[in-house]
Amino acid sequence: MRRVLALTYSQTGQLTDILDSVLQPMREQGEIELDIVHIEPAQPFPFPWPFVKFFRIFPETVAMQPIALKPVTTKYQDYDLVILSYQVWFLSPSLPIASFLQSEQGKALLSNTPVVTLIGCRGMWLMAQEKVKKLLEQANANLVDNIALIDDCGSAFSFLATPLWMFTGRKKPYSWVPKAGVSEQDIKNATRFGDAITQRLLADSSKIDSPMLKGLSAVKINEKLIASERVGNHSFSIWSRLLRKLGPQHSKRRVVGLTIYVIFLLTLILTVVPITALIKKLITPLTAKKVAKQKSYYAQPSGE
């Protein structure tokens, strides 16, 4: 009997649907036992998000500052495979997932264990995955595959569609706004990853130590967003340190700092991001090899 542990935290339910699709082929096999564990914060985060509260957790999220979690119970202490599914908050793994990965229980469960990461997000996930890689390395886990499903409406439209979903709780609150979220077809097609994982689990009883999803388009790297993510992550880190120094989440100084930050962020999105994209387009012939190398790196271990 092969044991698979699925760890997840989903606010909207979308990530749960994606995970269910991936796990479906495994559910149909009597030789695979699934243990699905939902990570839950001791103080639940709201959905839809109140605007101010969403930005109040920005500094702690970027710093991956652990929060209190509800007790987590698993059937076993050792598993043949762990599937770690997570959302992206502010170019970082969601706080509940980041907190669990840093907990003693999380490190013990993941130690010396193959891990498949599963991401459902707006479109920018590279920096979050880099942070998850470091946390997995610290836990002595072995990342063997990564799956990233992104919003169907595209990076430009999702700048509007995704925030409206977060603040209203509706994927399409207005007729003129594209529907936010990963498409139903992409979620349905995610069973192909489950098929490949199932085949490997049942092939033999040896330890999984190499990618199972090569050639299945587990990820797609948008080269236009690589520079934006790296610049954004650097900026977020600076603002995170500054805002945490101003005071705790509900302090007046933090609120003032957050107001300035939100204005700065909107200005960045409306000016620097388009300018950066234009410059990048103009110098593409000069940076083609560098970008290709970056794409290859970020696509690992599963590849595009």
pLDDT at 263 over 80: yes
Q: What is the domain count for the chain? A: 2
Does 304 fall in a domain?
Answer: no
Q: Which domain holds residue 36?
A: 2-203
247 and 292 assigned to the same domain: yes
Residue at 214 is within a domain: no
Q: In this predicted model, what pLDDT tens digit does every residue of 81-111 receive, in sequence order?
A: 999 999 999 999 999 999 999 999 999 999 9
Which of these three, 145, 175, 203, is where a domain ends? 203
DSSP label at 13?
A: S
pLDDT value for 144: 98
Query: Is 209 inside any structural domain?
Result: no
Mean per-residue pLDDT, 35-40 = 97
Q: Answer whether residue 160 is part of any domain.
A: yes
Whether residue 240 lies inside any domain: the answer is: yes
pLDDT digits (tens, 9 = 90+) for 131-165: 999 999 999 999 999 999 998 766 666 677 888 88
The reply to whether 237 and 291 lie within a common domain is yes
Q: Which CATH number do you get for residue 114?
A: 3.40.50.360
280 pLDDT above the threshold of 80? no
Q: What is the mean pLDDT of the chain?
A: 91
CB 227 within 8 A of CB 280: yes
Residue 19 lies in a domain: yes
My answer on whether omega of the bond before 48 falls inside 30° of 0, hence cis, is yes
pLDDT digits (tens, 9 = 90+) for 234-243: 989 999 999 9
For residues 254 and 154, membership in a common domain is answered with: no
Q: 230 or 127, which is more confident?
A: 127
The least confident of 36-45, 181-190, 261-270 is: 261-270
Phi-psi bin for 90: left (phi > 0), alpha (psi -120 to 50), beta?
A: left
